[in-house]
Chains A and B, each alone.
Chain A
Amino acid sequence: MLDILMSVLVAGLTTGALYALATVGLSLVWGSMGMLNMAHAAMLTLGGYAAFTATTTLGLPVFAGFAAAILFGAMAGGLLYVLIVRNLLKNDKATFESNVMIATVGIGIALENTILLTYGGQPLKQPLSVDGILKLGPLNLPYQNIVIILVVVVMMAVIALLLGKTRMGRAIRATAQNRDAAQLMGVAVNRVYFQVLVLSGSLAGICGVMVSSMTQLSPPLGNDPMLKAFIMCVVAGLGNLPGAVAAAFGLALLEAFIQYVAGARWGFPSLLFVVIAVLIWRPSGLFGRTQIRRM
């Protein structure tokens, strides 16, 4: 019985790690810019395909494929700022949040269909995956799950250090707390927005590689993680980064155990039930504070 429960736990932790990575990228942009980036799913997909092209078509080594995912994700984030967000910021601030949401929906659809036209619709295998199983007594742990959990833990640590210990991180946090005050204190807010989108794009790229290594590459690859990330963000509280990570792992474990105990079909509805309950009893999220955006 223990080995069965442990395998459910491992499945929950792996899914939680993937959710966390998707959630951090989304929450970062949401928290600091008040921008719900609906193209995040397509950026995630882009990262997965970039790694595929680098390692399969170009024949580059694995680390280069990983770097390509980060690079293309970052470029997509940078371009999103230069071509879209920067121009929308020039308009009325009151309508920015809704305008940017609609604009990024369009960007996401266009990017997903570009990938479809370029690579075709047939699912592809992500070459950046690790085969084999680690046997620990009665436990069988696939190496791929271990790699995903480790990569995500490392990425979380890097992001925490970046936000907590660097000048750029301080500027991002300051902008998130009060954009106008940060600007008056000399923070180059536009540059901060650019940096946040590049950072979020990089995270999306890594997440794309990780998700596709567990599943497959296909143009709608990012849609499911994006939907789950949205749920995690709402449950945690909009823009609350540590809360989002905690919510990602917590809800993924809850989902895995509900799937085991009540049946696989109850996993996702249980997440939605949690969202409804949170919105009723704590409208600003489990870790959120009313009208205050925190990083």
Chain B
Amino acid sequence: MINRRAMLQGVLGAGAAGGALLADLNSRAEAQDATPIAVGAALPMSGFAAADGIEFKNGLDLAAEEINAAGGILGRPVEIHVEDTKEMGADIVSQSMQRLIDRYTAPVIINGYNVGTNMIEMDIAADNDVIMMHYNTLISHNEKFKTDPARYYGSFQGDPPEYWYGPGCLNFLKELAAAGSWKAPNKKIAIIPSANEYSIVIANAIRDKAAEYGFEVSLFETVPFPTNQWGPTLAKLRQDPPAAIIVTHFLPQDLAQFMVQFLAQPTDSLIYMQYGPSLPAFREIGGESVNGVIYSTVVGCLPDDFSKPFREAYRAKFGPSSAYITGSQTYDGLWMWATAAAIAGGPGEPFNKEQAQKIAAVMRRNVYRGVNGTYRADPAGQSAYCYPTQVADPSLGMPHQFLQHQDYKTNPKLIAPPLYATDSFVLPPWIKA
């Protein structure tokens, strides 16, 4: 679809000096225009994922404040508009995104995660010719992108897909054993996903690759989402204790309860969990029970010097218990898009396909180092590359971070991957050496 503005640009561009003239006109027009640019976000501000939704909004607010303080995008300030996706799902998320486009003429939508959407977000972005960045962390994004790259040109996943958790986790366990830091009592692993796409895909990837890394799956138990009564599942684990228990369910409160109930009668198993332990609620609810738990995330604010100003500004603005590890995702997303929009000559508006394609091209071309690590779009799926499982060069992939809670009163320690790790693995207190 071509609109009037795009057609006029094309006509002017056809003249001898058209290209240079258009660039000059465009530059001056953008500089003189101080109309705010609407940045949309469809976030779960209520419902069970509200805690994360609020942090996603915080990340956007902080990034907007910084971008505006730096002069905005070619002189135009950005303005955040949020629609609540409540319990999420394809219907609510698609309607929320459409409202953001219709009401505010948002040329970009930066979401955190929404569950149960079947990646409908990509269709909304394609139908309206807007840029959409999200952190659903789903391989289904890549699969959908591959079906029609020309249609889904504006959809970006700001982190690697969840699939990489599978081989990444197995590789981590194997290297831990090989280094002698952990002596596995047997080769068994128990996998506990919950009934949602993210959790199941990771669990399946671990199950399918386990044999390649020298492990055998002794239990594959899917629990309801959300869940907090772990009694029957723990009974099965105690019946046949594995070397490692891998919980791919991700809600922090439920995972904290798992630890509290597990420690009533622990087994000599290493415990790895997904995402939830990165949030402050995990430590607050679990207390001392969480010491020794390992978790990983393919996206999260790194504990390095580069991200220090962000972490400090975030806590200063949103309070000491705010979760910058979540807010960092949309924070990087907005900065990345704003930089690309400025390079491309402006943010455009819905249905301005030409401008949206220019911005998308810059986003594909740029390697962006944010507070979560490096974003470099994998052209095959338009998600971030994953280091070290997918790419060996840490400057070209987002680090798959492995962290361990060693003292629940302090921040968890980054124990892998190489070059990023700040501390060493410590044997969990419930394992008898």
Contacts and interface: CB of A to CB of B under 8 A. Distances in A.
Contact of B229 (A11, A219, A220, A257): A11
B323 interface: yes
Nearest to B283: A125
B222 A263 contact: yes
B257 A214 contact: yes
A7 B231 CA distance: 7
A4 interface: yes
A7 B239 CA distance: 11
Contacts of B257: 214-216
A121 B222 contact: no
A99 interface: no
A123 B48 CA distance: 9
Interface stretch (B49-57, B203-211, B362-370): B49-57
A265 to B, nearest CB: 5
Interface residues of A, number: 38
A278 interface: no
Contacts of B238: 4, 7
Interface in B358-416: none
Contact of B253 (A12, A218, A219, A256): A218
16 contacts: A10-B231, A15-B231, A121-B53, A123-B252, A123-B284, A140-B265, A142-B261, A214-B229, A215-B253, A215-B254, A215-B257, A216-B281, A259-B232, A264-B221, A265-B223, A265-B224
Given A214-B228, A265-B224, 20 more contacts: A4-B235, A7-B238, A7-B265, A12-B231, A116-B46, A121-B51, A122-B279, A125-B285, A216-B253, A216-B257, A218-B48, A218-B253, A219-B46, A224-B226, A263-B222, A264-B221, A264-B223, A265-B195, A265-B222, A265-B223
A260 B284 contact: no
A194 interface: no
Interface of A: 1, 4-5, 7-8, 10-12, 14-15, 112-113, 116, 120-125, 133, 140, 142, 214-216, 218-220, 224, 256-257, 259-260, 263-265, 267-268
A107 B14 CA distance: 63
Interface residues of B, number: 44
Interface string B304-323: 00000000000000000101
A93 to B, nearest CB: 34
A260 B235 contact: yes
Given A216-B281, A267-B224, A4 B239 contact: yes
Nearest to A122: B51
A220 to B, nearest CB: 5
Contacts of B280: 122
Contacts of B28: none
A62 to B, nearest CB: 17
B408 to A, nearest CB: 12
B357 interface: no
Contacts of A123: 51, 252-253, 281, 284-285
Looking at B45, B228, B235, the one whose CB has the most chain A CB atoms below 10 A away is: B235
B231 to A, nearest CB: 2
B233 interface: yes
Contacts of B252: 123
